[in-house]
Each structure stands twice: as C-alpha cells, then as structure tokens.
C-alpha cells in the first residue's frame, strides 16, 4: 500500500507537468509563424512578436525561455534539433538564424541589436547566425557585435562573446578568446 501511495505521488505531478507542456505547445502553435514536427515548447516560455518566429522539427524549448524583439521586423528561425535550456534570454531584433543541432545551455543571454551610446535611441539591428552543431555553455553572454558563430564550435560556460567565433574552435573567458581547435 505504501508503495502505491509513493508511486501515485510521483506519477500525478509528472502527468500534470506533461499536460501543461502540451497545452503550452498548442497555445504557441496558434501564434508562431511555424512549428515543426516533434517540437516541444514547455510552460512559462514567452515570445514577443511570435508571428516572426519559425521553429523546425524536433526542437526543445525549456521553461522560462524569453524570446524578445525590440524591432517589429526582427525574425527568428530555429532549424531542426535545436535545444534551448532553462532561463535563456534570446533577443532576435536583428534577425537570428539558429542552424541544426545547436544546444544553448541555461541562463544564456543573446543580443542582436544595439542602441550605441544612447539608451533612448532607436535600436539598430545586428544579424546573427549560429551555424550547425554549436554548443553554447551555461551563463554565456553573446553581445550584439557577433555576426557568426561557426559550425562545430563550443563556447565555454560563463564566456562573454564579443566577436565572431571561427568554426571548429573552443572559446572561453571574458572576453571570450580562442582556447583550442576542436578535433
């Protein structure tokens, strides 16, 4: 009997979580430009200007992710097999493309616009392309001057990326610097 009670205590919250996540996915499918097959959008995800967002197949967007744009024409395209973990802030004002098989770890901050030296000025878009098979570690900041993160690169946890990242490299630190070639 005790095992049955313990089992029920574990199963019911998991079922409730699953139902909330399914409802969240269907809710955002009504507003997003497109959502691919087998994509999951968990609860507490926010999209500003959702009709400019396209999400490919088999993507996972975890809880607390915030997609924001200060410009009406800002677009976001997530290709296939993209995983965005908990509490990521993702600004797509400048237009962002995230290619296949990219992992963005928790608490990452990505910006694609600038106000220059005047915080009251109109935002200036800065496009960003994250190429395929990139792994962005936890608590990384990607600044507005970054135009490209090369394929198969790895950005170490806590890095502050201020310039483009070459393909097949590992970068880290503040500001992020080349560490070594990825084999």
> Which of the 8 DSSP states describes residue 13?
H
CA–CA distance, 169 with 180 (Å, rounded to integer)? 6
DSSP code, position 112: -
| Strands ordered across the beta sheet of 60-61 | 40-41, 60-61, 83-84, 103-104, 135-136, 154-155, 169-172, 177-181
Q: Which residue has the tokens 């996915």?
A: 25
CA-nearest of 87, 43, 51, 42 to 69 is 51
115 is catalytic: yes
Annotated catalytic residue within 18, 29, 46, 115: 115
Active site residues: 115
């Amino acid at each position: 009997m005790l095992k049955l009670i313990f089992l029920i205590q574990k199963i019911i919250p998991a079922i409730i979580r699953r139902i909330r996540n399914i409802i969240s996915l269907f809710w955002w499918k009504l507003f997003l430009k497109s959502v691919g097959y087998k994509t999951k959008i968990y609860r507490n995800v926010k999209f500003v200007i959702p009709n400019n967002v396209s999400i490919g197949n088999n993507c996972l967007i975890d809880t607390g992710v915030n997609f924001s744009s200060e410009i009406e024409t800002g677009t976001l395209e997530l290709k296939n097999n993209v995983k965005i973990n908990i509490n990521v802030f993702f600004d797509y004002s400048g237009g962002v493309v995230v290619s296949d098989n990219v992992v963005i770890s928790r608490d990452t901050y990505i910006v694609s616009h600038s106000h220059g030296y005047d915080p009251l000025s109109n935002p200036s878009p800065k496009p960003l392309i994250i190429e395929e098979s990139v792994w962005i570690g936890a608590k990384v900041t990607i600044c507005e001057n970054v135009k490209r993160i090369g394929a198969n690169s790895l950005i170490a946890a806590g890095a502050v990326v201020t310039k483009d990242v070459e393909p097949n490299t590992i970068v880290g630190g503040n500001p992020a610097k080349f560490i070594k070639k990825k084999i």
